[in-house]
Homo-oligomer: A and B are copies of this chain.
Amino acid sequence: MKSYPYPLLKPPSFAWDRSAAPAEPKVNEWIETLEVAHADQTDWSAVDATILGIPLSRSSISASAASENPDAMRRAWKYFTTYNLDHDVDLSEMRVVDLGDVRQHVTDIARCHQNIREAMQAMRTHHPQVLPVMMGGDHSITAMLIKGYKDAHPHDRVGILQLDTHFDLRDLADNGPSNGTPVRNLIESGTVKGEDVHNIGLHGFFNARSLKTYADEVGVCYTTLREARKQGVAQTVKEALESLSQRVDAIYLTVDMDVLDSSYGPGVPASTPGGMSSDELFEAVHVAGLCYKVKAMDMVCLDPFKDRGEATVKTAVHVMLSFLTGYKQRLK
């Protein structure tokens, strides 16, 4: 096992006490924290998934503290058991390692983005069989993560399943690689083909018409939430994944938490009335977890400072666990 690129990572600022973890752990007692000093000795072949925090939201168009989300999610792990009663799956039968956070710089956003890209490349290079799960941060990080993925797997055709209220197809010429641009960034840079993106969750008055026009021109697939609900969101996701699976080598799942209705996602500044319920979202990501081509996922744009208590942060943790439930079922 080659050494791990420590310089880009820093451990979480706090660690849960796992010494006394019982036979039936809580999620915080189950997920391991990478001990940086001994990272070389980690047996990555026994690890099923890694978790990585990306505490960057300086690149957000609106002021955001989504940078605080990775630690907020870690603190909320304690509210969850590892056992999914709905599917009779126990996540603790998998090994999941929390790598900590990608190092960020206060005043140089380009360097932040580069660090994120390199961290993803490193993960995919050093332990390509391990599933990476990323806790953002704002949506600008997705472009960097997928570029990093391509750096490690240059010959893979990569598709995207996007659960989002927005297209995220804004023009980079306006304000650089902000959180409004990741999908366009990937298409324009040739990283991903327009037709290999499928967005589910669009609705209402939250996208300029020109973005739809652009989406149509570059062939981005999308199903509005109103349409998706006709046969159920989960079934719509399933069909989109089957279609994507036929033409790409890997699917990256990106969950913009603003896809939630504002009553379900009070901690997401950009959540809107008319969005998804928590329940619909859990089912959707569970289906994605089951799909063999899904190789990575992220959750973005949750600002814990705006949350009502920790309600939305808990929802995000549940999204992660529902996804991992599908992944666990896939592994068996």
Residue in A75, A107, A119 with the greatest tally of chain B CB atoms within 10 Å:
A107
- B212 and A8 within 8 A (CB): no
Does A198 reach chain B (CB closer than 8 Å)? Answer: no
Which residues of chain B come closer than 8 Å to A24, judged between CB atoms? 208-210
Which residues of chain B come closer than 8 Å to A81, judged between CB atoms? 205-209
Which residues of chain B come closer than 8 Å to A23, judged between CB atoms? 210
Does A224 reach chain B (CB closer than 8 Å)? Answer: yes
Which residue on chain B has the smallest CB distance to residue A318?
Answer: B273
Does A101 reach chain B (CB closer than 8 Å)? Answer: yes
Measured in the bound complex, the distance between the Cα atoms of B37 and A9 in whole Å is 12
- B264 and A86 within 8 A (CB): no
Measured in the bound complex, the distance between the Cα atoms of B314 and A192 in whole Å is 34
- B85 and A207 within 8 A (CB): yes
Does A294 reach chain B (CB closer than 8 Å)? Answer: no
Chain A 57-81 near chain B by CB (<8 Å), digits 1 or 0: 1111101110110110011001011
Does A219 reach chain B (CB closer than 8 Å)? Answer: no
Q: Which of A154-162, A175-183, A239-247 has 4 or more CB atoms under 8 Å from chain B?
A: A175-183
Measured in the bound complex, the distance between the Cα atoms of B210 and A24 in whole Å is 8
- B273 and A278 within 8 A (CB): yes
Measured in the bound complex, the distance between the Cα atoms of B71 and A177 in whole Å is 25
- Give the Cβ gap from A19 to chain B, nearest Cβ, in Å: 7
Which residue on chain B has the smallest CB distance to residue A5?
Answer: B122
- B80 and A4 within 8 A (CB): no
Measured in the bound complex, the distance between the Cα atoms of B44 and A140 in whole Å is 43
For this chain, the copies found in one complex come to 6
- B11 and A33 within 8 A (CB): yes
Which residues of chain B come closer than 8 Å to A8, judged between CB atoms? 102-103, 115, 118-119, 122
- B61 and A106 within 8 A (CB): yes
Known: A4-B39, A6-B39, A11-B36. 20 other contacts (CB 8 A): A5-B119, A9-B34, A9-B102, A10-B20, A12-B33, A12-B71, A14-B17, A24-B209, A27-B205, A57-B63, A63-B65, A63-B305, A85-B202, A85-B206, A85-B207, A90-B209, A106-B175, A107-B175, A262-B311, A273-B278
Which residues on A are within 8 Å of B, measured CB to CB? 1-17, 19-20, 23-24, 27, 33-34, 36-37, 39-40, 42-44, 53, 57-61, 63-65, 67-68, 70-71, 74-75, 78, 80-86, 88, 90, 98-103, 105-110, 115, 118-119, 122, 126-127, 140, 175-178, 202-210, 212, 224, 226, 261-264, 266, 272-274, 278-279, 282, 305-306, 308-309, 311, 314-315, 318, 321
